[in-house]
Structure 1
């Protein structure tokens, strides 16, 4: 796991010193080694920071040249089947290998098969930049599901114009041509999704390469050309068109064998390796499949909180004891978690406001004290229908769509005509309602579901923090995204499957994987995600939905695999998010910090937000009348990030 940077420009300057400065800004992604390469005549420069995982020798140094000398690459990630690719290459053409890194294998593939065909043969997570000396072409590529980040864009003007690219925005900012103009449309997206989805970034003119994509350009062809070499939408359509033909039990058998093979491949490393363990279905399945294939106890890590509503450590400990792992847990005190907050603007090179970023960083920090690689259970919910919104849609939407939209809209208007606070007061007279905290807020959110005209509208309402984020942003106009305006090609999918596909193409890479990458790379830890091996993804999409949501159980096939290794009673419990008591913290120990960032005069002076609605939300939250924590956290994370720039 590493980080890389680079630029393409006809400008005459000291390319090596600039690319070195860019590379040094992301040192935590690769503290073990650094390398730089530039060709002044061709106008290109590459920089690399290395976290040594495979081939710890100098033979793994990057940027690296291909055997023919034609290609130069800066690579971030892991190619899990690179030894199989080596054997294929040796049959095609004998190679005198210098070392045993997957980067060297990749470059040999470029020489023999070309860049795209090589990428299509890989199994792995990656982002890379490769320069073709013959065609004078730069190619950027990102892995199929978006595990590794890649930013790019033209900056500057006239003779200072340069095409910049790299693993993090802070690297691009270190180039003299970079102009840090904040994109107010992207700020609107942050308030809706708590992350800025690809292809946008917080800066004008800088984008994120979509997962499964390749970009190419040269000084002769300045407009980037982007192609998709792998598409989740196509995988989803192909899966529902050609369903798994066996029984549900046969699907479990096949999933078990496939996941074992994937986990075995991802356990290959020349450094200590372990896994995050929450005690939930996904992480427990990964750890179980690691332990059954390991002769030594697998190192597992979890963090706990004294607040029972946020503590999974007891469940993780029970699973670890049953499997016999070498388990390490750390109970985090609230002040330790809060101490992470000042680091967030440097960990996340653009504003990011999923508050589970804090515990994710803490468990990464814990793991890094013992290992250099850690496997994660992310992706299971999107593949096997694990989120509560899928269950709700499956149960509710079929009934709702039978009721005319006009009737539902009338009911919704009736509910929202009464304020949430008034509903909270009325709850004492409604049988059963008094047991639900924030009853009025829940009713208002339910009204949005009632008024939805389609499953896409329903989905957008469920995932949105704010329905009209541009009403908070001065000069903000919300751009189109996959969940709003840009309709992905998902013909033939059921409503729940559409939601799963949208999550897998947006929420997963833009939020979940961004959170994981920055938290782990911030402490120089490599994360690996077995469920996102594209073979698992492609198989999961062939399974009928009633194999995934079965008899009221979510993730049914994955549960059945897990129950072969861990007793059901250790796993069965209500789904718990990986979170923190943010609402209480904002009213208590974080109040002064938040008040400073949300100061009305400050907001007005900076000119990004309209102070009135934000101050109103802050007042409502402090009073306890409404829980505005998530809306406020979106603003606070932008404000903290802005202050750090």
Structure 2
């Protein structure tokens, strides 16, 4: 994996310092590519490309970047891994194309030179973000993979210079970069705990949407966006060509697709392993890796002493059954908390999914043993694994049998008691202690009884439900989660929840978390479950193969059960969480107190301090469980402090 950055000052031909500026931008990404760094520059055209290399395939100088095509016309600056590069290479070789090395970079470059960028990216299987410079047409094109596995930001300076980079910290190195915070993005962040695409925390800086190409040239001047892969089209094709086979045929097909995806992602010229949490997704990936390996694969897990947050014991059982070479790390609260001050620098813009902490810790531990790790991310979105899908479906069915008047009456009765009151009741009745924040969940049921179901689902995804009320001059962006036309395009409610998550939560939370945490330590993460061929297959199967008899991820679990006994994985979903509530009341309290002082909040002028102070005091006194809302505000201001 690598880091890329670039400058295209197409209206200012002679820039004596463009090479040095671009080099500085690349240096900000050294953590993504610690093995080598280089800059390619066409000063007359105002174009410079910087690359930081993490050597995975073809460790020789033949794989170095930026790379010039054999015809001398094109230059590529590439971050990612393409798993069908060998097949594309063979096709090109048959047409007379010759190669210097065996890197996937060279294959992509020569394919672009031979058949064009659009035709090339439509062939690629993998994760990527890259820039292609056409020296003849003076045209720059930047492209991002279909699911948004690899990041890419872009912006224009006031002098009409295009900047792009893998991370914001590289853009900040440019002397003309504006650090003007987008307050609308702050509002969006407080709702979601991440900044939704295509926006970023900075005004006029955007994330390139997954499956898109941005083109700009001296002749065009204005950038042109085009889409080469669309989830909406994939959904439509899945409805037109549904899977009509039997259960066994579906299991066979998914097994074959997953096995192929895993096998191709085990190709590397460096040591390789797998993250193993003990859940369905990571266990499936580890099982398929071990099936195709002639020696024990290396697997890695992390554990906590708090039992309700500890999955390491389950991961150990899976590893023992599969026969992997397993390494586990039990983290003390002190070790976990030591990571917290580093998070704003690691994640580059406000990000408050608290599982960022264990993700970083397991990445750092894994990097000591391997350079590449396969991860099980994406299974929940593709095969309906999230608990909220089941909850929303149950609420929808419940509401459907109740008269409107009774629905609204019940909703008001439930809402009349605060979430903390419901928490206390659950605690008093000694109900399921692994159920986190029951009061908030019950209030979501109340909302479902009084609202439409898309609004209910938005509420289930929301942290701050009215962020504009606390952000000063902020008006959150309304994206796909508010799209009222989506119901006619994707009529099934379960499909619509998954559709929204694949477009938002998957790239902007899950994949962002994995990319930043792994890249911060120079580790490459590969995600076989979201191979785009598996994504496309998941939209062909009927809902009964996703949820059956109250069991989520039914089809994926049937594949796993071929390799791991059901009893080893048949347990309630835990998630990759941390005891944030207890930490904010205990070891993190003093640090949080400093961040959440009225003077500190006022210093940055982003939010109204009064409601923050109120819930912080309530949380410390045990009068409410506001840790997720507080963590959002803490991460926002910790980021502001780091990047002020």
CA distance in structure 1 between the partners assigned to 2:500 and 2:424 by the alignment: 38
CA 1:551 to 1:419, structure 2 compared with 1: closer, same or farther past 3 Å? closer
Deviation, structure 1 residue 236? 1.6
Residue equivalent to 1:135: 137
* Partner SS, residue 39 of structure 2: strand
Residue equivalent to 1:121: 123
**Mapped contact 1:305–1:333 kept (Cα < 8 A):** yes
Query: What stretches of structure 1 move > 6 A for 4+ residues in a row?
Result: 425-437
Residue equivalent to 2:582: 584
Could you report, residue by residue, the CA deviation over 1:420-472 in whole angstroms, capped at 9, with x for unpaired residues? 4555677799997999886544432322222221x311210110001110111
Residue equivalent to 1:350: 349
Residue equivalent to 1:179: 178
Q: Answer with 288-297 or 403-412: which moved more.
A: 403-412
* Partner SS, residue 122 of structure 2: helix
Q: Answer with 484-493 or 596-605: which moved more.
A: 484-493
Residue equivalent to 1:500: 498
Deviation, structure 1 residue 416? 2.4
* Partner SS, residue 296 of structure 1: coil
In the alignment, which of 548, 551, 570 is matched to residue 550 of structure 1? 548
**Mapped contact 1:233–1:490 kept (Cα < 8 A):** no
CA 1:292 to 1:613, structure 2 compared with 1: closer, same or farther past 3 Å? same
Q: Equivalent residues in 2 for 1:241-320 (5 A)?
A: 241-320=240-319
Residue equivalent to 2:457: 459
**Mapped contact 2:192–2:463 kept (Cα < 8 A):** yes
**Mapped contact 1:237–1:490 kept (Cα < 8 A):** no
Deviation, structure 1 residue 222? 2.7
Q: Answer with 437-446 or 371-380: which moved more.
A: 437-446
* Partner SS, residue 534 of structure 2: helix
**Mapped contact 1:7–1:44 kept (Cα < 8 A):** yes
* Partner SS, residue 382 of structure 1: helix
CA distance in structure 2 between the partners assigned to 1:435 and 1:210 by the alignment: 37
CA 1:421 to 1:511, structure 2 compared with 1: closer, same or farther past 3 Å? closer
Residue equivalent to 1:563: 561
Residue equivalent to 2:515: 517
* Partner SS, residue 539 of structure 1: helix
* Partner SS, residue 121 of structure 1: coil
Q: Answer with 7-16 or 510-519: which moved more.
A: 7-16
CA 1:415 to 1:364, structure 2 compared with 1: closer, same or farther past 3 Å? same
Could you report, residue by residue, the CA deviation over 1:87-137 in whole angstroms, capped at 9, with x for unpaired residues? 11112x212210000010001101111000000011010000111112211
* Partner SS, residue 516 of structure 1: helix
Q: Answer with 582-591 or 404-413: which moved more.
A: 404-413
CA distance in structure 1 between the partners assigned to 2:25 and 2:421 by the alignment: 55
**Mapped contact 1:63–1:73 kept (Cα < 8 A):** yes
CA distance in structure 2 between the partners assigned to 1:625 and 1:434 by the alignment: 18
CA 1:267 to 1:367, structure 2 compared with 1: closer, same or farther past 3 Å? same
Residue equivalent to 1:44: 47
CA distance in structure 2 between the partners assigned to 1:408 and 1:197 by the alignment: 33
CA distance in structure 1 between the partners assigned to 2:547 and 2:432 by the alignment: 28
* Partner SS, residue 140 of structure 1: strand
Residue equivalent to 1:382: 381
* Partner SS, residue 601 of structure 2: helix
CA distance in structure 1 between the partners assigned to 2:152 and 2:431 by the alignment: 50
* Partner SS, residue 27 of structure 1: coil
* Partner SS, residue 408 of structure 1: helix
Deviation, structure 1 residue 406? 5.4
Residue equivalent to 2:63: 60
CA distance in structure 1 between the partners assigned to 2:639 and 2:214 by the alignment: 29
CA distance in structure 1 between the partners assigned to 2:44 and 2:525 by the alignment: 38
* Residue 31 (str. 1) matches residue 34 (str. 2): yes
CA 1:350 to 1:39, structure 2 compared with 1: closer, same or farther past 3 Å? same
Deviation, structure 1 residue 67? 1.6
In the alignment, which of 57, 66, 75 is matched to residue 72 of structure 1? 75
Equivalenced residue count is 640
CA distance in structure 2 between the partners assigned to 1:543 and 1:574 by the alignment: 24
**Mapped contact 1:237–1:493 kept (Cα < 8 A):** no
Q: Answer with 525-534 or 482-491: which moved more.
A: 482-491
CA distance in structure 1 between the partners assigned to 2:477 and 2:222 by the alignment: 21
CA distance in structure 1 between the partners assigned to 2:309 and 2:633 by the alignment: 23
CA distance in structure 2 between the partners assigned to 1:142 and 1:437 by the alignment: 37
Residue equivalent to 1:20: 23
Q: TM-score scaled by structure 1?
A: 0.96
Residue equivalent to 1:622: 620
CA 1:426 to 1:379, structure 2 compared with 1: closer, same or farther past 3 Å? closer
* Partner SS, residue 483 of structure 1: helix
* Partner SS, residue 284 of structure 2: helix
**Mapped contact 2:70–2:110 kept (Cα < 8 A):** yes
* Partner SS, residue 504 of structure 2: helix
CA 1:489 to 1:125, structure 2 compared with 1: closer, same or farther past 3 Å? farther
Q: Answer with 437-446 or 567-576: which moved more.
A: 437-446
* Partner SS, residue 338 of structure 1: helix
Q: Answer with 556-565 or 360-369: which moved more.
A: 556-565
Residue equivalent to 1:6: 6
Deviation, structure 1 residue 562? 0.9
CA distance in structure 1 between the partners assigned to 2:148 and 2:605 by the alignment: 33
Could you report, residue by residue, the CA deviation over 1:571-629 in whole angstroms, capped at 9, with x for unpaired residues? 11111110110001001111111111110122123211101111111011111121100
Residue equivalent to 2:535: 537
* Residue 216 (str. 1) matches residue 215 (str. 2): yes
CA distance in structure 2 between the partners assigned to 1:492 and 1:357 by the alignment: 32
CA distance in structure 2 between the partners assigned to 1:82 and 1:356 by the alignment: 33
CA 1:524 to 1:182, structure 2 compared with 1: closer, same or farther past 3 Å? same
CA distance in structure 1 between the partners assigned to 2:403 and 2:345 by the alignment: 50
Q: Equivalent residues in 2 for 1:407-422 (5 A)?
A: 407-421=406-420
